[in-house]
A and B are shown apart, each in its own frame.
Chain A
């Protein structure tokens, strides 16, 4: 932790107008943009091309390499698999494509899911690449998100690193004792590790609460 190798793998550190923009403007822009994308009828192909062009311009202005965004798009993979399956399983009039019988309705559905999902994921990754995680709670508070929700996000941002490095240390300790996650039976070990991690996270939550009480916290959200 001291060596500056931060856990926030989504943030791309550089200086640009997009990085400098107020976080609450960026969050509001993202939510608005995604809502517009999702609400666009999937037959309006030109509109999606325009959305993508907007994103490309924003990413270029932000000096974030396209490859950086592309590599992080693997989170979308489960949706892609689902979308690819659709033309095969959907019903209705079918067309022949390269010897395969595909459902027309399924093809449109797959297109709609893929294009809306991809554009939204790129937009979200762009926000994540240009906004440091600790700026988000403040942005949400300025957007009048309820204080309790903001507090939960604050805690998540703060302790994600702690819990994930705890998880890493536990894994290293397991592996140091010769454990290798290979066979099916190792799932029991993994499940217990997750259980132990949950208990530790819960205990930590209680200790954090005590430390807050010790500094005069009385349950109400400040700001």
Chain B
């Protein structure tokens, strides 16, 4: 599982359109390029197609029109296995992701699918759990953990595959402030390209230097997160609202 560096951006989406089998069209030509090591927040109102877009990035859904390219490889049958290793998706509900009887088995599931065995597998598991600070829970059953802990273990199950691109679907939902902060610290320490799907605008500001708005199935805005969040006309047009009393400029100033 070597991370061979390939030319080109980490992620490139061009003219991506998609309709569900029942005919409901969700994406109408999405263009998005994410450079290596970049952290991008994918914002947008409910039902804008954020999760649908995320599921195209590792070929779970196949583009109706347009292309998705990961590290220079087109997402399609030919490279599917390789792409799913390079692009790790952490799903919104950790109970969907954690399905094994113990944390160890669950974190081992991904690398084992790629033929990692024995001591190397164990090392993979331990490393990933250490990264998220959950090594103590290695022998526990996932359903005995708190939600914040389960979310961190779900992150570990993906990190164990050593992905180059990490896609997080609403990582902060239902977390208490301490668990939110711990997750920020964990994500901050990772050396990966990050695409974070979220409604949580302060979280987007805290973690991502760049934000894009997906609205009505197209990319409606793309720029530095602080600029996007302070453009009140743009925000209002796409049903995005800052939490009461939150001032992005003040928050950025306070961080420096």
Smallest Cβ-Cβ distance to B108: which chain A residue: A222
A106 to chain B, nearest CB (A): 45
Restricting to B159-192, which residues have a CB under 8 Å from any CB of A? 161
| A39 interface residue (CB < 8 Å to B) | no
| A204 interface residue (CB < 8 Å to B) | yes
B172 to chain A, nearest CB (A): 18
| B99 interface residue (CB < 8 Å to A) | yes
B45 to chain A, nearest CB (A): 22
Q: Are B113 and A214 in contact (CB under 8 A)?
A: no
Smallest Cβ-Cβ distance to A157: which chain B residue: B101
Which residues on B sit within 8 Å (CB–CB) of A189? none
* A207→B149 CA distance, assembly (Å): 20
Which residues on B sit within 8 Å (CB–CB) of A159? 95, 99
Q: Are B161 and A216 in contact (CB under 8 A)?
A: yes
Tier of interface size on chain B: 20 to 34
Q: Are A222 and B112 in contact (CB under 8 A)?
A: yes
Smallest Cβ-Cβ distance to B149: which chain A residue: A2
Which residues on A sit within 8 Å (CB–CB) of B96? 204, 207-208, 210-211
Given A4, A155, A162, A211, which contacts B91 in the complex, CB threshold below 8 Å?
A211
Restricting to A134-149, which residues have a CB under 8 Å from any CB of B? 134, 137
Which residues on A sit within 8 Å (CB–CB) of B60? 210, 213-214
B199 to chain A, nearest CB (A): 19
Known contacts A134-B141, A207-B91, A210-B55; A216/B99 CB under 8 A:
no
| A215 interface residue (CB < 8 Å to B) | yes
| A96 interface residue (CB < 8 Å to B) | no
Secondary structure call for the A interface: helix
Known contacts A158-B143, A161-B143; A214/B114 CB under 8 A:
no
Restricting to A1-34, which residues have a CB under 8 Å from any CB of B? 1-2, 4, 6-7
Q: Are A215 and B110 in contact (CB under 8 A)?
A: yes
A141 to chain B, nearest CB (A): 11
Which residues on B sit within 8 Å (CB–CB) of A7? 143
| A212 interface residue (CB < 8 Å to B) | yes
* A159→B144 CA distance, assembly (Å): 12
Fill in one digit per residue for A191-223: 1 if any B CB lies within 8 Å of its CB, else 0: 000000000000010011011111111100010
Q: Are A216 and B110 in contact (CB under 8 A)?
A: yes
Given B102, B110, B144, B158, which contacts A4 in the complex, CB threshold below 8 Å?
B144
Known contacts A1-B146, A2-B145, A6-B144; A214/B89 CB under 8 A:
yes
Q: Are A215 and B158 in contact (CB under 8 A)?
A: yes
Known contacts A155-B99, A204-B96, A210-B60; A2/B146 CB under 8 A:
yes
* A204→B97 CA distance, assembly (Å): 10
* A89→B52 CA distance, assembly (Å): 63
Which residues on A sit within 8 Å (CB–CB) of B110? 215-216
| B193 interface residue (CB < 8 Å to A) | no
* A212→B149 CA distance, assembly (Å): 20
Given A134, A215, A218, which contacts B101 in the complex, CB threshold below 8 Å?
A134
Known contacts A158-B143, A216-B161; A204/B95 CB under 8 A:
yes
Q: Are B88 and A214 in contact (CB under 8 A)?
A: yes
Which residues on A sit within 8 Å (CB–CB) of B157? 215
Q: Are A162 and B143 in contact (CB under 8 A)?
A: yes
**Most chain B CB neighbours (cut-off 10 Å) among A137, A211, A217, A222:** A211
Smallest Cβ-Cβ distance to B97: which chain A residue: A211
Q: Are A158 and B101 in contact (CB under 8 A)?
A: yes
Q: Are A217 and B89 in contact (CB under 8 A)?
A: no
Which residues on B sit within 8 Å (CB–CB) of A155? 99
Q: Are B142 and A158 in contact (CB under 8 A)?
A: yes
| A104 interface residue (CB < 8 Å to B) | no
Q: Which residues of A contact B (CB under 8 A)?
A: 1-2, 4, 6-7, 133-134, 137, 154-155, 157-159, 161-162, 204, 207-208, 210-218, 222
Q: What 9 A-B pairs come out closest when comparing CB atoms? A: A134-B101, A2-B146, A216-B113, A215-B110, A207-B96, A211-B97, A214-B89, A161-B143, A216-B84
What are 22 of the A-B contact pairs (CB < 8 Å)? A1-B143, A1-B145, A1-B147, A2-B149, A4-B144, A133-B101, A154-B100, A158-B99, A158-B142, A161-B143, A204-B96, A207-B96, A210-B55, A210-B60, A211-B91, A214-B60, A214-B91, A215-B157, A216-B81, A216-B84, A216-B113, A218-B81
- Other A-B contacts than A4-B144, A213-B84, 12 sampled, CB-CB below 8 A, are A1-B147, A2-B145, A134-B141, A154-B99, A154-B100, A155-B99, A207-B93, A214-B60, A215-B113, A216-B110, A216-B113, A217-B113
